Amino acid sequence: MTALRQALYGLALLGAMTLLVWGQQQRIAVAKQATALAQIDANTARDEAARNLTTATTLRSTLNQERQAQSQLRSLHDQLRQGLARREQQIEVLKRENSALRDWAVQPLPDVARRLRERPALTGADAYRQWLSGGGAVPTARDPAKP
């Protein structure tokens, strides 16, 4: 009976070893799957980081271009403001020198010219288009103004 007992113990040990090896293989398979998923996630993250870097680079260059454009606009605005100040000074000098110009400058605008500047409050492109195509045209100087 000892031989039979030894054979049973051997078979039990062999079964236990087989279960242990099978369990290890299952753990290895699960680890390989987890590694593959982690690699896929890492590749996806790298691709997304590359896209984000490209977007950031594009946005940075666009921002630099807009800053340059704003700088140019500020410079042009300053030049225009200086030119306007010079013209206003020149007009004031001319008014002081020329009495006819001074008298003309203090007169109110004629009705025809005043109506050119009158315009209803417009709220959008459609309202502007309707106002342009409507009957609000300014009459010529020869035609009497309609009340």
Top-confidence residue, 91 or 146: 91
Contact 143, 115 (CB under 8 A): no
Number of domains the chain is built from? 1
Q: What is the pLDDT of residue 143?
A: 56
SS3 17: helix
**124 in a domain, yes or no?**
no
User: Is the pLDDT reported for residue 142 higher than 70?
Assistant: no
pLDDT digits (tens, 9 = 90+) for 89-141: 998 888 888 888 778 888 888 888 877 777 777 788 888 888 777 765 555 66
**117 in a domain, yes or no?**
no
Query: What is the residue range of 104's domain?
Result: 2-108
pLDDT digits (tens, 9 = 90+) for 32-80: 999 999 999 999 999 999 999 999 999 999 999 999 999 999 999 999 9
**32 in a domain, yes or no?**
yes
Which tokens is 84 given?
A: 């306007």
**92 in a domain, yes or no?**
yes
Which amino acid belongs to residue 10? Answer: G
**128 in a domain, yes or no?**
no
**36 in a domain, yes or no?**
yes
User: Is the pLDDT reported for residue 145 higher than 90?
Assistant: no
Q: What is the pLDDT of residue 51?
A: 97
**147 in a domain, yes or no?**
no
**113 in a domain, yes or no?**
no
Burial category of 95 from C-beta neighbours within 10 Å (exposed 0-12, middle 13-18, buried 19 and up):
middle
Which tokens is 61 given?
A: 């260059």
